[in-house]
Structure 1
């Protein structure tokens, strides 16, 4: 016998209508937030960032691929990683289905990581992905957009991420520390190396030949990009998490 509240169909419908009203308000609020994002001031990008892509060397302007809008996913894959971050990999599993639709709406979606291009290409083949993925190896791009930090910054005791300064930079103790250590191990490195990268996304627009930065988000600001979580939030038991349970999609059988 279930411990969860049960009821009649009529009771369910009444509760569902209450929830529907709350969902509609959340939708309207989300629409207002989207408009607020679009009303942010644009900041001209002055730096001449250079990338390596499957097509050869590229500028930030080139990443637009003839479109006027560019969405960049800052994928955690540092030069010393042996594989991409598990969380970023779970998010990226949803990219290929969106790329073609975005492209037909004047938007290019591209991942960017600091690892050299051959490492990205090999991992991309392993994962079976086809979305554009550029290497910013040797560029300040990831640092300037808040998703990479030097070891010197960590040693100084203050790292800025997600629009705030983080001062407690020690590896947490207990279960959380063990999980983070496992995540570092899963990319083939240690915690000190793993932590130099962070996830995020940035948006850019090109107008009259000028590129502008329009928006960036980090941490739970990326929740909406995790397709699996949007489904889990509608499942009977919700996220039902006791830890970092997810793996790369080709690793579940080996766990």
Structure 2
């Protein structure tokens, strides 16, 4: 991408003020969408999911850690892989200190279908500390449309069924893992699903993108072109869709 054209300070200021008006329009539109997201109805979860954490079996309720809200990031890590998805790793690298969520009565946890025996060494390699559990022997990933196997459940991703995915050339999603985020609310021991997002809906989680969007050269690469942060000096690195 070429650099912007060179202009006078007055010309730059006029262009900047014009863009500021557009930025404010988008900010107002986002605030409206955020409000509508908060107003979405919710669904009670009647199924008890058996997950595995570092200290043994856990349920979805345990991931709240006593708080009212839970955000689950569906980290792509197939049981057959030796390491987690590079794109999801970029998102993990963008996490701030979780205390800022905790003081707002919100917990965050990663869930992957890989067994904990693969998750734990990869997590240590990346230097992460977020809660991360395995859904290896659970329907959790399939119920929230981030793992796809037609022999287990009808594939669906980003609210598109198998026929739509095929028609759009997204056939790889019929047999693969996909990233996502889901949000839950707790009322006592009752857990409710309030929101899930997938694909480009996850861009809002990527601080790296938002910083790059401020620059003239922009993002420069798609999310699946990023590597694990310890692989940038290698010729190739693991990537995923």
TM-score for the superposition, normalised by structure 2: 0.89
Shifted more, 63-72 versus 98-107: the winner is 98-107
Instruction: Tell me, in whole angstroms, the C-alpha distance in 2 between the residues paired with 1:213 and 1:54.
Output: 25
The answer to whether structure 1 residue 206 and structure 2 residue 186 are counterparts is: yes
Please report how far the alpha carbon of residue 126 of structure 1 lies from its aligned counterpart in structure 2 after TM superposition: 0.6
State the Cα deviation string for residues 37-82 of structure 1 (Å, max 9, x = none): 1101010000000111123211110010111000000000011111
Match for residue 228 of structure 1? Answer: 208
TM-fit CA distance, 1:133: 0.3
Q: CA deviation at 1:113?
A: 0.3
Number of matched pairs: 233
Does the aligned pair in 2 maintain the 1:43–1:214 contact within 8 Å? yes
Match of 1:142?
141
CA drift of 1:120 comes to 0.5
Retained in 2: the 8 A contact 1:151–1:196? no
Could you tell me how far apart the structure 2 residues matched to 1:243 and 1:207 are?
36
CA contact (8 A) 1:51 1:135 kept: yes
> What SS class does the counterpart of residue 156 from structure 2 fall into?
strand
Are 2:110 and 2:132, in contact at CA under 8 Å, matched by a contact in 1? yes
Equivalent residue for 2:160, pick from 155, 158, 164: 164
The 1:3/1:249 distance shift into structure 2, 3 A limit, reads closer
Structure 1 partner of 2:43? 43
Q: Distance in 2 between matches of 1:241 and 1:56?
A: 39
Write out aligned runs for 1:56-135 (5 A).
56-95=56-95, 97-135=96-134
> How far, CA to CA, are the matches of 2:47 and 2:36 in structure 1?
26
> Unpaired segments of 5 or more residues in structure 1?
178-190
Q: Output the CA distance in 2 between the equivalents of 1:61 and 1:196.
A: 27
Taking the aligned partners of 2:124 and 2:146, their CA distance within structure 1 comes to: 24
By how many angstroms is 1:153 displaced? 6.8
Higher helix share: 1
* Structure 1 length-normalised TM: 0.84
- How far 1:152 sits from its partner (Å)? 3.1
Name 2:228's counterpart in structure 1. 248
The Cα of 1:3 is off from its aligned counterpart by 6.3
Q: Which aligned pairs between 1:25-44 and structure 2 lie closer than 5 A?
A: 25-44=25-44
- 1:207 to partner: Cα distance: 1.2
- What residue in structure 1 maps to residue 238 of structure 2? none
Q: Which residue of 2 aligns with 1:22?
A: 22
Structure 2 gap segments, 5+ residues each: 236-241
